[in-house]
Amino acid sequence: MASGFLRRHSASLMLAPAMLLLAVFFLWPVLDLVRGSFAHPDGSLGQYERVFSRPAYVLVLQRTFLISGLTVLICAVIAYPVAYRLATASTTGKLVILAVILIPFWTNLLVLCYGWLIILSPTGTLNKALTGIGLIDNPLPLSGNMAGVLIGMVQTMLPYMVLPVAANMARIDPRIPQAARSLGAPPLQVFLRTWLPLTMSGVIAGGLLVFIMSIGFFIIPAILGGTKDIFIAQLIEMNINKVLNWGFAAALSTVVLVTTLVLYGVGVRWFGVDALWGRQ
């Protein structure tokens, strides 16, 4: 009896310590945060009324989602061929590609930002080189605007796109495109009708991951961005550490949390994102 119980529930039992840790140190604080967002002298929805009535917050949320969305699109376009190469390369090739992707990933974010600033600024390395060889007359506006933010964010987020897509590609049965080819499909057809549909779930999984992480960004938009590039995390931090309005910070955080959960739900329900974490 007892051994039967242990055998049947061995996986759950082994997971229990981790679950307990998450419950105490993650789930409970998050619930406490959400609860805190409903504590307001003007009624339980007072904080949320302010989030949606002052233009500042709606505009910043729009901006945060817009730039995060663009980051996903650019990452997808850049990551797709890299992931293909990674999935199909030899062991040495894999190591080289992984190193190239992961070294900037391990670099301190501030170092990375200031590095980009030196390269991208109007008097920076890149613009000096381009004007020097006569390719352009006036420096390109590559920092202090959305272009700067996107360059920084795409570089940082690229591994989160490449790795899921490559993992997905590695699982595809190579006989499927082979079959398409042997039946006379031209390369473009093979790609569009077998390879692309089969890899879409990897792209969407990577995209969700990138989007969810991007909306929490702070440093990159602040340093490489322009006047309009304010992310919601900056306003949350101000409320926590400058004006000590934790209830309002909690409401802003809850808005971001709910958005993330809804997106994840959409990914699981319609795009099979959970396949990425091992569901068959």
Q: Which is nearer to another protein, 90 or 108 (CB)?
A: 108
Q: Which of 92, 242, 277, 280 binds another protein (CB under 8 A)?
A: 242
Q: Which of 104, 115, 226, 272 binds another protein (CB under 8 A)?
A: 226
End-to-end Cα separation, the chain, in angstroms: 30
CB of 127 to another protein, least distance (A): 11
Q: Helix (H) and strand (E) counts for the chain?
A: 15, 0
Q: Is 35 in the site for another protein (CB under 8 A)?
A: no
Site for another protein in 122-141 (CB under 8 A): 122-124
What is the SS3 assignment for 132-201?
Answer: HCCCCCCCCCCCCCHHHHHHHHHHHHHHHHHHHHHHHHHCCCCHHHHHHHHCCCCHHHHHHHHHHHHHHH
Q: Which of 8, 54, 171, 269 binds another protein (CB under 8 A)?
A: 54
- Taking CA atoms, 247 is separated from 40, 230, 268, in Å, by 7, 21, 31
Are 161 and 167 in contact by the 8 Å Cβ rule? The answer is no
Site for another protein in 78-117 (CB under 8 A): 109-110, 114, 117
- List interacting residues with another protein (CB under 8 A): 29-30, 33-34, 54-56, 59-60, 63, 109-110, 114, 117, 121-124, 144, 215-219, 222-223, 226-228, 230, 232-233, 235-246, 249-250, 253-254, 256-257
